[in-house]
Structure 1
Amino acid sequence: MKIAFCLYKYFPFGGLQRDFFRVAKEIVLRGHTVRVYVREWVGEKPTDFEIIEVPTHSISNHGKNSEYFNWVSNHLNSNPVDRVVGFNRMPGLDVYFTGDVCYAEKTKNKNFLYKLTSRYRHFISFEQAVFNKGLATKILVLTENRKSEIQEHYHTEDGRFYLLPPGIDIDRKYDKQPQDCREKFREEFALSNEQKLLLQVCSNYELKGVDRSIKALASLPASKRENTFLFVVGEDNPEKMSALAQSLNISDHVRFFRGRNDISRFMLGADLMLHPARQEAAGIVILESIVSCLPIIVSGNCGYSSYVNTASAGVVLAEPFDQNSYNQTLEKVLENSALRQTWHANAKHFADTHDLYGLAKRAADIILQ
């Protein structure tokens, strides 16, 4: 079979992009042909994908999306495939992978003037073309909450939804790392046993709440703050967050790294993961933290935050987010090493006893059936 994948932008460190890559690779492993339409591909191009970079010229993102959709539609008419799979919302999909929050839910409290904008009309119409009742598009969802949000706005039929298991790379699991990984990591970055390392991994600093973590670090009592550091890893411009750290006089305690392939080392070297995201449809980094046995503080609006409670591997912050509550939670967790050790043990047990790795195989089954 020939399978077309539609994805506006590929870069190697985004959660949605990594899910796409694993699913597409699984399709290829089963002997099928994969064609990928992107506006932009960043990073190495696999030789077993046919990658087509779609030309767009509009200034706005929604304008580029429309140009992309029109170009891809024309190309598919001339070069048909057996399935069209979207990792972004657009008309004409056979299968849609729900990696983003429901736009109607996200904008439900916007005023009527916003809903008159071309941006709003574009995104809501492309979403309607996937979720509206009576359509045939299969919808792959990562959480039951996401399904409920969609049905609340669109009354989409139950039978069109397929709940996927998580899809972590098995090589992220704690027992796949060298036994001395933590020691070598902390030696490399000159971290003593007494010093605490906070970690945040994300590719959109503001959306994922890096500023919230910097403020929480700055709020610690001076005696704790002196021995606490925050490493932020991901693809984004750190200028704004770096300026915030400087304004709070903690720039020496915050370091920014570009996206990396050795995140497992960082997770084993750290003492606590932070993920106070403003918006997160799922959050694969949450599960990667669990399988690395790294305790986590996460905002309650993240799709995968329920796994933290189920595994008893950290704290899920109440919504709506409150900075003071986050600050207090961070201080309490840092001063309670016994609690962190308990969460570490709980996460280890959860990683060993639950299927957190089967997303790509299940998604491929549905796409090909």
Structure 2
Amino acid sequence: MKIAFCLYKYFPFGGLQRDFFRVAKEIVLRGHAVRVYVREWVGEKPTDFEIIEVPTHSISNHGKNSEYFNWVSNHLDSHPVDKVVGFNRMPGLDVYFTGDVCYAEKTKNKNFLYKLTSRYRHFINYEKAVFNKGLPTKILVLTENRKSEIQEHYHTEDGRFYLLPPGIDIDRKYDKQPQDCREKFREEFALSNEQKLLLQVCSNYELKGVDRSIKALASLPASKRENTFLFVVGEDNPEKMSALAQSLNISDHVRFFRGRNDISRFMLGADLMLHPARQEAAGIVILESIVSCLPIIVSGNCGYSSYVNTASAGVVLAEPFDQNSYNQTLEKVLENSALRQTWHANAKHFADTHDLYGLAKRAADIILQ
């Protein structure tokens, strides 16, 4: 079979992008051909994908999306495939991978004037073209909560949904790393045993709440704050968050790193993962933290936050988010080394006894049906 994948932008460190890449690779491994339509591809291009970069000229994102869809539709008319799989919402998909929050849910409290904008009309119409009743599109979801949100707004038929298991790369697991990984990492960054390292891994700093973590760090008592550091790893411009850290007089305690392939070293070298996201459809970094045996504080609106409770590997913050509650939680967790050790052991047991790696194989099964 020949399978076309539609994805507006590929870069190697986004959660949605990594899920796409694993699924497409699995399709290729099974002997099928893969064509990828993107507006932009950042990073190395695999030789076993046919990658087509779609020209767009509009200034707005939704204008670019419309141009992309029209171009891809015309190209598929003259270069047909067996299935079209979307990792972004658009009309004409055979299969849709739900990597974003439901737009109708996200905007339900927006005012009347917002819903008159061309941006709103574009995104809501493209969403309807996937989720409306009576359509044939198969919908791959990562959590039951996401399915419920979609059905609340669109009454989509049950039979069109397919719940996928998580899909972590097995090489992120704690026992795939060198035994001295933590010691070497902390030596490289001159971190003593007394110093505590907080880690946040994300590619959209504001959406994933990096400012919340910086404020929480700044709120610690001076005696604790002077021995606590925050490393932020991901693809975004750090200027705004760096300015916030400076305004709170903790710029010496916050470092920003570009997205990188050795994130497992950071997870093993850190003492606590932070993920107080404003919005997160799933949050693969939550599961990667668990399989790295790294305790985590996560906001309750993240799709995969339930795994933290199931594994007893950290704290899930109540929604709606409260900064003071986050500040207090961080301080209490840093004070309690015994609790962090318990969460570490619980995460290790969970990683050893649960399937957190099968997303790509299950998604490929459904696509190729």
TM-score normalised over the length of structure 2: 1.00
Question: Runs of 4 or more off by more than 2 Å in structure 1?
Answer: none
In the TM superposition, residue 160 of structure 1 has moved relative to its aligned partner by 0.1
In the TM superposition, residue 152 of structure 1 has moved relative to its aligned partner by 0.1
CA distance in structure 1 between the partners assigned to 2:88 and 2:260 by the alignment = 24
Task: Spell out, residue by residue over 1:65-105, the C-alpha distance to the aligned partner (whole angstroms, 9 max, x if none).
Answer: 00000000000000000000000000000000000000000
In the TM superposition, residue 137 of structure 1 has moved relative to its aligned partner by 0.1
CA distance in structure 1 between the partners assigned to 2:110 and 2:268 by the alignment = 42
Task: Spell out, residue by residue over 1:13-70, the C-alpha distance to the aligned partner (whole angstroms, 9 max, x if none).
Answer: 0000000000000000000000000000000000000000000000000000000000
Task: Spell out, residue by residue over 1:244-299, the C-alpha distance to the aligned partner (whole angstroms, 9 max, x if none).
Answer: 00000000000000000000000000000000000000000000000000000000
Task: Spell out, residue by residue over 1:118-160, the C-alpha distance to the aligned partner (whole angstroms, 9 max, x if none).
Answer: 0000000000000000000000000000000000000000000
- Is 2:294 the partner of 1:327? no
CA distance in structure 2 between the partners assigned to 1:306 and 1:134 by the alignment = 31
In the TM superposition, residue 166 of structure 1 has moved relative to its aligned partner by 0.1
Alignment partner, residue 126 of structure 1: 126
Alignment partner, residue 299 of structure 1: 299
CA distance in structure 2 between the partners assigned to 1:355 and 1:163 by the alignment = 14
CA distance in structure 2 between the partners assigned to 1:363 and 1:166 by the alignment = 11
Alignment partner, residue 212 of structure 1: 212
Find the residue that maps to 1:93 and give its secondary structure: coil
Alignment partner, residue 49 of structure 1: 49
CA distance in structure 1 between the partners assigned to 2:2 and 2:211 by the alignment = 44
State percent identity of aligned pairs. Answer: 98
Unmatched tracts of structure 2, length 5 or more: none
Task: Spell out, residue by residue over 1:325-354, the C-alpha distance to the aligned partner (whole angstroms, 9 max, x if none).
Answer: 000000000000000000000000000000
RMSD over aligned CA atoms reads 0.2
CA distance in structure 2 between the partners assigned to 1:226 and 1:301 by the alignment = 31
CA distance in structure 1 between the partners assigned to 2:98 and 2:341 by the alignment = 35
Find the residue that maps to 2:255 and give its secondary structure: strand
TM-score normalised over the length of structure 1: 1.00
Task: Spell out, residue by residue over 1:141-185, the C-alpha distance to the aligned partner (whole angstroms, 9 max, x if none).
Answer: 000000000000000000000000000000000000000000000
CA distance in structure 1 between the partners assigned to 2:110 and 2:307 by the alignment = 31
CA distance in structure 2 between the partners assigned to 1:95 and 1:168 by the alignment = 21
CA distance in structure 1 between the partners assigned to 2:103 and 2:292 by the alignment = 32
Question: May I ask how many residue pairs the two structures share in their alignment?
Answer: 369
Find the residue that maps to 2:133 and give its secondary structure: coil
